[in-house]
Structure 1
Amino acid sequence: MDARSRRSRETLREAVLELSTTAPIAEVTASAICARAGVTRDTFYRHAESPVDLLADALAAEIDEAMTVLPHTDAIGDGERALLEHVRRRAEVYRGAMHPLLAAPVRHNLERSIRAGLVLWAELHPHIVPAEFADDPAAMRIAVAYAAAGTVGAVEEWLRSDDDDTERAVRLILAASPEWWLR
């Protein structure tokens, strides 16, 4: 992507994040995003299919940045904490994307990021993976999918609770996780 396109994408991401802080994403229009970003609708549609897709992209970029902690830690809880701190920081945006569950593109990107983090964690710590998963890639994909979907469900429930205690949420999600992830 050339520098101009990157600047446009960043400007659009900032605009959708700002607008979705004050209104549910279902009420945010492409025109409003364009006006806030100072770009044309053509530029918008070169970068996203819809406001919710742009929001999902913006949040995924932030999550990916937060997950860079994983290779530098020995505790999976640090990755969970980084994810939940991102969600807490953007709680109004996430709540505005829930009706009653997260909008599909937002949920998909959140789950994709968690899956990638779990796969990376297992690759960095192969000794934690039970033999039935280590020797069976399909089984490992099932374990990762289960853990990622469960984490997204827990995040949704945490958002509904209006509880902003990240440490408590980390403890609860880890307590609900299969023990082998925590070794």
Structure 2
Amino acid sequence: MDARARRSQEKLRSAVISLATDTPISEITASAICREAGVTRDTFYRHANSPVDLLADALSAEIDEVMTVLPRAEAIGDGERALLEHVQRRAAVYRGAMHPLLAAPVRGNLEQSIRGGLELWARLHPHIVPAVFMADEAAMRMAIAYAAAGTVGAIEEWLRDGDEDIERAVEVILAASPEWWLR
């Protein structure tokens, strides 16, 4: 992506996050985002299909930055904590994307980011992975999908409850996880 397109993308991401902090994403129009970002509708549609897709992309970019903690993490809870800190920082945005579950693009990107983090964790710590998963790639993908979807569901409940206690949320999510992830 060239520098001009990257600047437009960043303006659009910033605009949708700013608007979604105070307004449910279902009520935000492409025109409002364009006004906030100072770009044309053509520019908007070169970067996104809809406001919710743009929001999902913006949040995913932030999660990608947050997840850079994983290679240096001492325990999987460190990654979980970093993710929940991001969610808490953007709680109003995430809540504005819930009806009652997260909008599909936001939920899908969040789940995909968690899957990527779990795949990386398993690669970095192969000794934790049970033999049944080491010998069966499809089984490992299923275990990762199960853990990622469950984590997203737990995050949705945490957001719905309005709980601000990140440590408690990390503790609950990890307690609900298969013990081998925690080794």
- Cα deviation, residue 74, structure 1: 1.7
Per the alignment, residue 35 of structure 1 pairs with 35
Q: Tell me which residue corresponds to 1:61.
A: 61
Aligned residues: 183
Question: In the alignment, which residue of structure 2 is the partner of 1:142?
Answer: 142
Structure 1 SS opposite 2:88: helix
Counterparts of residues 28-107 of structure 1 (less than 5 Å): 28-107=28-107
For 1:49-102, what per-residue CA distance to the aligned partner results, in whole angstroms no more than 9, with x for missing partners?
000000000000000100000000120000000000000000000000000000
What value does the CA root-mean-square deviation take over the aligned residues? 0.3
* TM-score computed with the length of structure 2 as normaliser: 1.00
Q: Percent identity?
A: 79
Partner of 1:20: 20
CA distance, structure 2, for counterparts of residue 111 and residue 69 of structure 1: 17
The 2-side partners of 1:74 and 1:48 are apart by: 37
Alignment of 1:125-140 (within 5 A): 125-140=125-140
Instruction: Please give the per-residue CA displacement for 1:93-140, whole angstroms capped at 9, x wherever unaligned.
Output: 000000000000000000000000000000000000000001100000
**CA–CA distance in 2 between the matches of 1:72 and 1:26?**
37
> Separation in 2 of the partners of 1:100 and 1:24?
12
| Structure 1 stretches lacking a partner, 5+ long | none
| Secondary structure in structure 2 of the residue aligned to 1:127 | helix
Find the counterpart in structure 1 of residue 171 from structure 2.
171
Q: Distance in 2 between matches of 1:106 and 1:37?
A: 20
